Chains A and B, each alone.
Chain A
Amino acid sequence: MSGEGLVDAERRRFNAIALAPSLIVLFVIAGLPAIYLVVTSLTPFQLVNPGSSTDFSSPLRNYLLLPGDPRFVNSLWVQAKLSFWGVLLQVLLGMLLALLLHTQSRVVEFARTLFLIPMVLPPIVVAIIWKLIYTPDISPLYYAAGLLNVTMPSLTSSVDFALTAIIIADTWEWMPFTFLMVLAALQTIPEEFSEAALVDGANRLQIFFYITLPFITPILVISGMFRLIDSVKAFPLVFLLTGGGPGSVTEVTNYYAYLLAFDFNEIGYSSSVTIVMLLLVVAVSLGVVWMGRRREAMA
């Protein structure tokens, strides 16, 4: 082995030793529970029947039951709608806001800070804020509508609006994230490009589509992916605003898993729901990454 190879091997060993404590901690606090979740999903474990936690007589039972569970299938569909519209709105509005506030002035800097507030609030606080907004008899929104003689339905108990209400609240909370990412990306675009385009007679729209957008597309994809993964965790909003209702209109998969585990005591079945949800999120994320790479390769 050459001297350079030895140095490389030494470095690799050093890196492995340096990383080991963190990896061990990570494995203990994240890996072990995840493994236990998989193991539990292979049992009919119920809290009131402790012996069932070691019953592996029919390990695939829970997974085989899932496709025939209309509530689970419905929850996936609700989750898909929530994720799609939520992410789309957050990415588009975040980008629009970033483009508007991509300028230097004290007022704009203050506005930027203001727009970040929803993102840093605890999720439960966000849920309570929107609970107040959506509750007709105490809501300033309904009060204002009343002054204008506009009759509004109760958004969170309306079949047509309940999911939209949650999407709006989720967008309000997380749009600042995409806004921040896009704003950071915009600030890395050299100004010479757009100046040269202006000299060549390009209008603002052309500059956006041919210069700005290609630059920020990777960031849009990444922030969209982050939000997609995060959208599966819209639990506090669903829990507080609608409780999954009316009926099952807003019952997303993680809320259903929560009900199964803590209301019905079906820990095993709930674990299988969670595992399927996890696999779907991983699959969608990989799909998004693959599409992004393919697009880069074609460019």
Chain B
Amino acid sequence: MTKKNSSHKSAGFNRRALLQAGAATLGAAAFPLPAIAQTKPFAGVTLRGASFQHRFFTLLQNYIPEFEAQTGMKVDLQLSAFPVYNQQANLELSSGGSAFDFVNVTFILAARWVAAGLLANLDEFTIDPNLTPAEWNPKDFVEGAQVPYRDAKGATYGYSWEGGAMVMGLSRMDLMEKKGLKVPKTFAELQQVCAEINGTENVNGIVSFQLHHWCLPPYIQGFGGNIFRKPPADIMPTLNSPEAIKAIEYYANLLKNYAPKGVLTYTEDQARQSHMTGRSNIFIHSSAWITPILLSNDSKVKDTSRVVRMPAGPVHDYPAANSQGLGIPKNAKNKKAAWEFIKWALSPEISMRLVKEHGHSSVCRRSVIESEEYRKLNTVNGQDLGALYLEVLGLPAKGENYMAYRTVKEFPIVGDVLNKAFEQVATGQLAAQAAMNAAQEQAVANLRRAGTAL
């Protein structure tokens, strides 16, 4: 999907607009507006929001003028690069600032922000029928995507606008069919397919990228391990469990033997490019990064691609899932106005418009994802991408929330240690057992230093 969207701010004057404005002014002068239009509840309010740059917000900016016209408020949305936004929001929220009325609740920071009480409880808005009509339906959001924005008591501090479901993309099914290989459904089959394809017509068996603490945990859990003992209640790291060591060995072996040279420093964009051009057969990541092999105009492998569930481990089948949410800072000045914006931005109507008008499919409303229009737009080569997306996104909410490891505030520290340990194994600096023993020791020391009681 490469449709260009001009920001409303950049819309220039033209003769037609000028004539329309003139006619409207004359009309307004001739027929005074009814009183109701002059009593817009938020007239004069300037709503300040912030997030990292994302296509969702770029598209949303096309509709914001409509929202401004409906409510009378002005929306000042500040978009920055992902790390810049996270640092800025972290500082702003933790210092109790009130510069923003609504913020993106970044997945990796959600647990910390919720635990530290930096966000407003949105249940106060949703239970009030004067503030939230029944048809807005908070339960319509995919449960798995909502998990990160709840505290231990189940109160909600954010609503998801973007879902990430880990799926597997195969770009060279033609080569696989030539060799009589089927779509791998287990870790063992995955390794076999990677080995068979790697080097055939200069194609790599698999590609990945440098965020190992996102890519690796499904393998750790697949073998029966976890990052913490029993998150969120017991956050003692379990990095040197036999299952975690096995997973590290397995994943390091995949990247060492079947991935492009330099894969350890690949960014997501590089990995996607390698996948979309057919230079690498398998890529396992969030759906938004995988589905371009089928949907993007830049894809060179549309006809030979499949998108399926990632292979299951011998013990568990736990593909990762994440989301991004919108929330209101605890000290925001215009909470009600901010809620009005969130309610509008995440309404079924806007979600559906994003899908229909822009092909933006990673929305989090179940009613939209299950609609006929969505299914039509997201069925490619007979593959129902929407159903797959919904299935994976909903998994963490079924039974044990296996994504809990990622929603505890201690994860960034332990995740970083895991990253380092994996790189040490993948580059042969240390054996898996030694690397993970050292990682466990360091994770515990770092958590204790940060004041975590273990």
Whether B424 and A246, one on each chain, are in contact in the complex, defined by CB atoms closer than 8 angstroms, is: yes
CA distance A266 to B427 in the complex (A): 29
Q: Render B78-94 as a binary contact track against A, CB cut-off 8 A, 1 for contact.
A: 00000100110011001
Whether A246 and B96, one on each chain, are in contact in the complex, defined by CB atoms closer than 8 angstroms, is: no
Whether A137 and B260, one on each chain, are in contact in the complex, defined by CB atoms closer than 8 angstroms, is: yes
Chain B nearest CB, measured from A211 CB (Å):
47
Contact of A71 among B260, B262, B263, B442 (CB under 8 A): B442
Whether B112 and A157, one on each chain, are in contact in the complex, defined by CB atoms closer than 8 angstroms, is: no
CA distance A41 to B96 in the complex (A): 21
CA distance A248 to B115 in the complex (A): 30
Q: Is B308 an interface residue (CB 8 A)?
A: no
CA distance A153 to B424 in the complex (A): 16
CA distance A217 to B46 in the complex (A): 62
A137-B279, A159-B429, A262-B87 as given contacts; A241 in contact with B265, CB under 8 Å = yes
Contact of B262 among A52, A65, A135 (CB under 8 A): A135
Q: Is B450 an interface residue (CB 8 A)?
A: yes
Q: Is B10 an interface residue (CB 8 A)?
A: no
Instruction: Tell me the chain A residues, 239-264 only, with Cβ under 8 Å from chain B.
Output: 241-249, 259, 262-264
Whether B264 and A49, one on each chain, are in contact in the complex, defined by CB atoms closer than 8 angstroms, is: no
Q: Is B210 an interface residue (CB 8 A)?
A: yes
Whether B429 and A247, one on each chain, are in contact in the complex, defined by CB atoms closer than 8 angstroms, is: yes
Whether B450 and A46, one on each chain, are in contact in the complex, defined by CB atoms closer than 8 angstroms, is: yes
Contact of A157 among B83, B113, B265, B421 (CB under 8 A): B265
A159-B429, A245-B420, A262-B90 as given contacts; A48 in contact with B263, CB under 8 Å = no
Q: Is A171 an interface residue (CB 8 A)?
A: no
CA distance A139 to B103 in the complex (A): 39
CA distance A246 to B261 in the complex (A): 13
How many B residues touch the partner, as a band? 35 or more
How many cross-chain pairs have Cβ atoms below 8 Å apart between A and B? 103
Whether B427 and A47, one on each chain, are in contact in the complex, defined by CB atoms closer than 8 angstroms, is: no
CA distance A47 to B94 in the complex (A): 5
Q: Render B386-425 as a binary contact track against A, CB cut-off 8 A, 1 for contact.
A: 0000000000000000000000010011001001110110
Which B residues are in CB contact (< 8 Å) with A137?
260-262, 270, 274, 279
Which B residues are in CB contact (< 8 Å) with A70?
442
Which A residues are in CB contact (< 8 Å) with B428?
159
| A-side interface residues, number (CB < 8 Å) | 37
Q: Is A158 an interface residue (CB 8 A)?
A: yes
Q: Is B5 an interface residue (CB 8 A)?
A: no
Give the secondary structure class of A's interface.
loop
Q: Which residue of A lies closest to B447 (CB)?
A: A264
Whether A154 and B446, one on each chain, are in contact in the complex, defined by CB atoms closer than 8 angstroms, is: no
Whether B427 and A159, one on each chain, are in contact in the complex, defined by CB atoms closer than 8 angstroms, is: yes
Instruction: Tell me the chain A residues, 242-292 only, with Cβ under 8 Å from chain B.
Output: 242-249, 259, 262-266, 269
Q: Is A134 an interface residue (CB 8 A)?
A: yes
Whether A266 and B424, one on each chain, are in contact in the complex, defined by CB atoms closer than 8 angstroms, is: no
Whether A154 and B261, one on each chain, are in contact in the complex, defined by CB atoms closer than 8 angstroms, is: yes
Chain A nearest CB, measured from B420 CB (Å):
5
CA distance A199 to B311 in the complex (A): 82
Whether B265 and A265, one on each chain, are in contact in the complex, defined by CB atoms closer than 8 angstroms, is: no
Which B residues are in CB contact (< 8 Å) with A264?
412-413, 416, 446, 450
Q: Is A94 an interface residue (CB 8 A)?
A: no
CA distance A234 to B413 in the complex (A): 24
Q: Is A44 an interface residue (CB 8 A)?
A: yes
Chain B nearest CB, measured from A91 CB (Å):
29
Q: Render B275-288 as a binary contact track against A, CB cut-off 8 A, 1 for contact.
A: 00001000000000
Contact of A246 among B95, B426, B445 (CB under 8 A): B426
CA distance A241 to B112 in the complex (A): 29
Contact of B264 among A69, A157, A263, A266 (CB under 8 A): A157
Q: Is B118 an interface residue (CB 8 A)?
A: yes
Q: Is B34 an interface residue (CB 8 A)?
A: no
Whether A243 and B210, one on each chain, are in contact in the complex, defined by CB atoms closer than 8 angstroms, is: yes
CA distance A269 to B450 in the complex (A): 9
Whether A157 and B262, one on each chain, are in contact in the complex, defined by CB atoms closer than 8 angstroms, is: yes
Chain B nearest CB, measured from A264 CB (Å):
5
A50-B95, A246-B264 as given contacts; A158 in contact with B90, CB under 8 Å = no
Residue of B87, B427, B428 with most partner-chain A CB within 10 A: B427
Which B residues are in CB contact (< 8 Å) with A159?
427-429
Chain A to chain B: the 3 pairs with minimum beta-carbon distance, closest first: A154-B262, A157-B264, A47-B94
27 contacts between A and B (CB under 8 A): A48-B94, A48-B113, A48-B409, A49-B451, A50-B94, A50-B95, A135-B262, A135-B265, A136-B262, A137-B261, A137-B270, A153-B261, A154-B261, A154-B262, A157-B265, A157-B427, A159-B429, A245-B419, A245-B420, A247-B429, A247-B430, A248-B420, A262-B86, A262-B87, A263-B416, A269-B449, A269-B450
Contacts A48-B118, A135-B262 aside, 13 further interface pairs with beta carbons under 8 A come to A49-B451, A65-B449, A135-B270, A154-B262, A154-B263, A156-B262, A245-B423, A262-B83, A262-B87, A262-B90, A263-B416, A264-B412, A264-B446
